[in-house]
Amino acid sequence: MIGLCQLPLSSILLLFCKIIYMTIRFGNYTLQRADVLVVKDRNFDLLDHYLVYIGNGQFIANMSGGIRLMKIRDFKNFESRFYPVRLRKFIGNEVQRAWALQRAQECLQPKYSLLYSNCEHFANYVQTGKRQSLQSTKASIALIAAGAFVTNENKSEPVQVIGALSILAGVLGLLNEAFVDNSNAGYAYQS
């Protein structure tokens, strides 16, 4: 773990500016462990991206390469691509917060999947114990609609197969959201 004194002056100034920016941008709110920072991609801001703050200037995020730890030094490259849109504060006592952080640490291995294991699934699981994603539900519905449209409008066999696969992927996504194991849920967050 890198201590603040071990960072170059430019990194310390960048961190200080980030803290000031967060205070101005989000009121007088200070990040606490298990809070979620919601960001958007500057090049594709259709979807939200979720990062769980675990303390000491570190986040855990489900990126395209899978769930990984992001340290202060990662933020220079990250910030050039993403911008913050809101903070989602963890609601719960310190024991629940510790359990949320334990869930975050346990998740460092799984791979990223847009429909089945994305950043929103991860952030919701950490804060609430529920692996759910409204974005995945919407994407699944869009896949079903697109597949139905393509299948109905085009009679060529390859296009029919693509349409059917799109419908199948959408249905599997909805089933994943509906039947995900949330037996250990029971924590809350404030949006």
Does pLDDT of 10 surpass 60?
Answer: no
CA separation for the pair 154, 148 (Å, rounded): 10
CA separation for the pair 177, 169 (Å, rounded): 12
Helices (H), 41-156: 75-81, 94-106, 119-128, 134-153
Closest CA to 86 of 31, 130, 16: 31
Q: Output the pLDDT for position 181.
A: 59
- Average pLDDT of span 141-168: 85
> By the 8 A CB rule, do 109 and 59 touch?
no
- Average pLDDT of span 83-87: 85
Q: 18-22, 38-42, 63-67, 179-183: which has the minimum mean pLDDT?
A: 18-22
Q: 23-27, 59-63, 153-157: which has the minimum mean pLDDT?
A: 23-27
Q: What is the pLDDT of residues 98-119, one digit of tens each?
A: 889 888 887 886 677 777 788 8
Q: What is the pLDDT of residues 12-52, one digit of tens each?
A: 445 444 444 433 233 445 788 899 988 888 888 888 889 89
Does pLDDT of 187 surpass 70?
Answer: no
CB count in 10 Å sphere of residue 145? 13
Q: What is the DSSP letter of 58?
A: E
Q: Output the pLDDT for position 110.
A: 63
Cα 61-132-172 angle, rounded to 5 deg: 110
Mean pLDDT of the chain: 76
Q: What is the DSSP letter of 46?
A: T
CA separation for the pair 42, 166 (Å, rounded): 28
Does pLDDT of 154 surpass 80?
Answer: no
Ordered structural domains, the chain, with CATH: 10-110 (3.90.1720)
pTM of the model: 0.55
Closest CA to 59 of 13, 122, 143: 122
* Strand residues in the chain grouped as ranges (E): 36-41, 48-55, 58-63, 66-70, 82-91, 188-190
CA separation for the pair 92, 152 (Å, rounded): 49
Q: Output the pLDDT for position 28.
A: 43
- Using the Cα atoms of residue 109, residue 57, residue 187 and residue 39 in order, give the sign of their dihedral: negative
Torsion of CA 191, 62, 60, 182, to 10 degrees: 60
Does pLDDT of 90 surpass 50?
Answer: yes
Q: Output the pLDDT for position 185.
A: 46
